Amino acid sequence: MFSIVKLAHLDYLLMALIHHQYELIKWLSKLALPVPAILKGSIHKNSKTYGFQIAELHNISHEELRNLLADDKEVFTDIYQARHSHRDLSPVIL
């Protein structure tokens, strides 16, 4: 296991993206999904989120990975067939 720190430059858009990633990881972890654990909350400056530290990365077994990829392929196929994607997402990539 190793630690990673994600930081945004002091730019409004990049800070918003980092904050969104932080909130998304917190939400996904409440669903008991295999996402990185966040250590000690987010990093703030002037009451704005501009980074966070990932405490550890979770290992996923090959079987779990195959199942996740199969689920992803099904979702991408549905998105592609519904014409919500213009070849930027495709089941072929999986």
Model pLDDT for residues 56-78, shown as the tens digit of each residue? 666 778 888 788 888 877 877 77
Long-range contacts for 60-69 (Cβ within 8 Å, ≥24 apart)?
60/34, 64/34, 69/94
How many domains does the chain contain in total?
A: 2
66 shares a domain with 52: no
Eight-state DSSP code of residue 75: H
* Residue-wise pLDDT tens digits, 15-70: 888 888 888 888 888 988 878 888 877 788 777 778 888 876 667 788 887 888 88
Question: Does residue 80 surpass a pLDDT of 60?
Answer: yes
The parent domain of residue 83 ranges over 62-93
50 shares a domain with 10: yes
Task: Look at residues 30, 25, 34 and name the one whose alpha carbon lies nearest to residue 65.
Answer: 34
45 shares a domain with 16: yes
46 shares a domain with 14: yes
41 shares a domain with 12: yes
pLDDT of residue 84: 61
- At 54, is the secondary structure helix, strand, or coil? strand
46 shares a domain with 23: yes
Measured CA to CA, the distance from residue 90 to residue 82 in angstroms comes to 12
